[in-house]
Structure 1
Amino acid sequence: MSRKVCASAADAVGVITSGATLAVGGFGLCGVPDALIEALHDLGVGDLEVFTNNCGVDDYGLGILLAQRRIRRVTASYVGENKEFARQYLAGELEVELVPQGTLAERLRAGGAGIPAFYTPAGVGTLVAEGGMPWRYAPGGEIEVASPAKEVRTFGGREYVMERSITADYALVHAALGDTDGNLVFDKTAQNFNPLAAMAGRITIAQVEELVAPGVIDPSEVHLPGVFVQRIVDTGPQAKRIEKLTVATEGAAA
């Protein structure tokens, strides 16, 4: 058996300590590494800084860590459906850096590729580039910590803002299929931020719904090569959650 394979989710995340930085895959409730997050919750670590698209919902995914006040800072592209996330941010209990979604994706990818920074037109002429976005509020509602101004340069007559890449101590990701060497395959839109988060982690931990031997996965079907994955655990099929259910009222037109 490969040295990357862990016996359980608890074993897989057992290396993570309080104060760590985490890149976490998933989008809404799709492709969330839920078993790893639950195991991290049970481990009792806190004071975490998280890089993720969003924090899921109050009772699932990163929401369970937020509810226990285990997260001190979040870099994300939106608050989503997590009411506790919004409450902690507005109450000054949580530091939040909101980033344009495409910029967040590229910051993670760049970190994994060894690129320290890059230029993008997203955010030019706004507080994203000029600074002043509220990262942390004081209890009274005033801004306690604001974002700094960023370097802006002109290329080909167009302005671009410099964004720094993201690397994290650990990454937590979910995949549909993986082999014992760490090669991963993601299911449809569950690919979302998972490969990017995996690239950004110095130690990447993957939960998979099915774990197979090396060679079973056709190399042309691999979405993320095993070189980016250091620990892997078979957590079985994942229950599918619905983030926001909308149903037609009785008598509504089809």
Structure 2
Amino acid sequence: MMLNAWHLPVPPFVKQSKDQLLITLWLTGEDPPQRIMLRTEHDNEEMSVPMHKQRSQPQPGVTAWRAAIDLSSGQPRRRYSFKLLWHDRQRWFTPQGFSRMPPARLEQFAVDVPDIGPQWAADQIFYQIFPDRFARSLPREAEQDHVYYHHAAGQEIILRDWDEPVTAQAGGSTFYGGDLDGISEKLPYLKKLGVTALYLNPVFKAPSVHKYDTEDYRHVDPQFGGDGALLRLRHNTQQLGMRLVLDGVFNHSGDSHA
């Protein structure tokens, strides 16, 4: 019986264990190799990792070989292939099958390693805040109520009183004056609710109320209290043992971004 191999970049052949990716190859048939190397890439640098023959068989007559890829650094997409070694020859195993020649980069197996995020996030109780509509601090800086022309909307921004009801006509140019100091003032209330982490919609300088049209990534919008208000909010959340997460909009910007 000829040698057969099985592998796909999905479980049970690929499993993530903490900061490692476990890669398994199944073999069956006559004349098995003496050694198997896992050829992989780390930041586009080729590496060869020895695979280890497992004692347990996944199926009768099937031998499993396994190696681990370090995930603590490097690119999220990992490409790899298998190099089977005998005393007198070698073969490569890829999605195309066995080959005498090393595979090209795009001919190898590929797996996208998901970003599981920071471990602390899993246990948090998040509260998402749209800064303009959550809480308004007093007194206010004059710059917070400055009226300007919103180019994308083709009109000046509209400042509403805090107690005015929100209507369907309130678009991206309508402001109610919520700010970061207002959020700071409400932290005891949020803490009492059991909140352990805040997630804020964008806060950096932008002409719209939602701030997804960033104009300047280096400064907090004056309408929200500027850089100082964010520093105060960060200090206050730290004092209460709360996390603070900002919505970073880096895949696009507003038409006024320089």
If the length of structure 1 is used for normalisation, what is the TM-score? 0.21
Give the number of the structure whose alpha-carbon radius of gyration is greater: 2
Q: Which protein is richer in helix relative to its size?
A: 1
Higher relative CO (Cα under 8 Å, sequence separation at least 6) belongs to 1
